[in-house]
Amino acid sequence: MIRALTAGSLVGLGLFLLARALFPPRPALALVLARVSGAASVEPVATLAPSTRWAARWSAWVGPPLAGGLERFNVGLGDLASDLAVIGRSVEDHMALRAAGAAAGVVAVPVVAAMLGLAGIGPPSMLMTGWLAIGAALIGFVVPDSIARRQAVERRRAFRQSLAFFLDLVIVVLAGGAGVGSALRQAAAAGDGWAYIQIRNALSAGRVRREPPWAVLGRLGAELGIAELEELAAHVSLAEREGASVRQSLTAKGASIRDHQLSDAEAKATSATVAMTAPLVLIGLAFCGFILYGAIATISVHG
């Protein structure tokens, strides 16, 4: 059974690779338009975390070939690209982390099988060990994605909180008579958190390239997957073009962000309260059972 399953899987994989080679998939329309218009050459404004020496060597050796192979098969990262930008990890580093997880899964299964053999426990057959190694490799390849997504959710939540305070600072500086660009830079320099570092570096890069500050912040929001920052940049840019008050736009957007955070906090507290209902009910039932047990035992003894 296992041999037939292995042979069928190998034949299916060979047919799939042959079909991919003979009929390559069409590239995405957005990627083609970006290449034609030259938009793909625009450097990102999000700041990535530096890698350690050994991680950088492993990433330089494994990351680019793996990323290039997936790009040739049109296997994109999708929303994971913005998640990686939020946690400060490059695509090459993430590909190297995927390869490391897959290699760890491949190595761990034979090691465990050998330890079982040394302990006197019958180890699985070679085919079963191979299938388990493939499964462990797939798990090790996918686990970094789920970890990155969870970390990105926390980073975005922290960024939204910092963005609300950042807007308050910008409004205060604007009230003092400063210009929009100067107010943004002063407000970004007032904080030392991760969100302020991203905003400060993005504004510095945009100033060197002579790009409007709100356009740079909009690009930063698109790269990090933070819709509030994109909407803020669009609203303020529209207000500047129409001659409206920038302070009113910032005040309204800051209030909207705080209301959204308050609703999220209330929803989270409600879900936590609901989640605590079942344990409390179980504790109450156990306490009632403990009390009833004594009464029933006493009745049975006297009866």
pLDDT at position 96: 79
Q: For residue 170, is pLDDT > 80?
A: yes
262 vs 26, higher pLDDT: 262
> pLDDT tens digits for 31-41?
555 556 554 44
> pLDDT tens digits for 17-60?
566 556 655 655 555 555 565 544 456 777 776 655 555 555 55
Q: Which parts of 255-303 are beta strand (E)? A: none
Residue 191's pLDDT band (boundaries 50, 70, 90)? confident
> pLDDT tens digits for 68-112?
555 554 445 667 878 888 888 877 778 878 888 888 888 888 888
Out of 29-33, 144-148, 291-295, give the one with best mean pLDDT: 144-148
Q: For residue 202, is pLDDT > 70?
A: yes
pLDDT at position 52: 53
Q: State the chain's mean pLDDT as an integer.
A: 76
Question: Could you write out the DSSP letters of every residue in 64-128?
Answer: HHHHHHHHHTT---TTHHHHHHHHT--HHHHHHHHHHHHHHHHHHHHHHHHHHHHTTS-PPPHHH
23 vs 117, higher pLDDT: 117
Percent of the chain with pLDDT over 70: 71
| Stretch (H or E) spanning 26 | none
**CB neighbour list of residue 238: distance below 8 Å, 6 or more residues apart:** 244
Q: For residue 153, is pLDDT > 70?
A: yes
| Distance between CA atoms of residues 211 and 223, nearest Å | 16
| Chain centroid, CA 298 distance in Å | 60
Q: Determine the average pLDDT of the residues in 255-265.
A: 81
242 vs 267, higher pLDDT: 267
Q: For residue 165, is pLDDT > 80?
A: yes
Q: Determine the average pLDDT of the residues in 102-127.
A: 79
For residue 217, how many other CB atoms are within 10 A of its CB?
A: 26
